[in-house]
């Protein structure tokens, strides 16, 4: 039986096939869209980690500079070199913050001498 809706003839036999085609299209579209969203979420997560890491490093650089400030025996240039060396290498940064305050001056001397 053919029924005309809005001037378009609908054939029940072909209607079910068309419906399956539309459902298949929607399923594929939803699958692709879900994949795009998952990839976007992963990339946004990576960006957030990078931004968080940069914020952490910025805070660490400020702490290093603040720790070097009272070391009056260092020239400004030595402080800059030490700060750069400490903050550019993760192991130096970790070591600097885990050494007791009274040993930080010795650590800075070793770094400036190029022994670390």
pLDDT of the residue at 12:
52
pLDDT recorded at residue 80: 93
Low-confidence ranges of the chain (pLDDT < 50): 1, 3-4
Strand runs labelled E in 1-116: 2-5, 8-11
Instruction: Mention every residue, 6+ apart, whose C-beta is less than 8 A from residue 96.
Output: 64, 67, 86, 104, 107
What's the pLDDT at 14? 57
User: What pLDDT does 15 receive?
Assistant: 66
CA–CA distances in Å: residue 23 to residues 16, 34, 50: 10, 16, 40
CA–centroid distance for 104 within its chain: 31
- What is the signed CA dihedral for 21, 23, 28, 34, rounded to 10 degrees? 170
Predicted local confidence at residue 48, as pLDDT = 84
Please give the pLDDT value at position 100: 93
- The pLDDT value recorded for residue 51 is 84
pTM: 0.56
């Amino acid at each position: 039986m053919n029924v005309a809706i809005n001037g378009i003839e609908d054939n029940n036999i072909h209607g079910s096939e068309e419906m399956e085609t539309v459902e298949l299209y929607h399923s594929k579209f939803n699958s692709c869209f879900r994949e795009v969203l998952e990839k976007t979420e992963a990339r946004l997560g990576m960006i957030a980690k990078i931004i968080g890491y940069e914020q952490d490093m910025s805070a660490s650089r400020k702490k290093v500079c603040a720790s070097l400030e009272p070391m009056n025996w260092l020239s400004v240039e030595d402080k800059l070199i030490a700060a750069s060396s400490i903050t550019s290498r993760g192991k130096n940064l970790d070591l600097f913050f885990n050494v007791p305050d009274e040993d930080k001056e010795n650590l800075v001397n070793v770094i400036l001498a190029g022994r670390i």
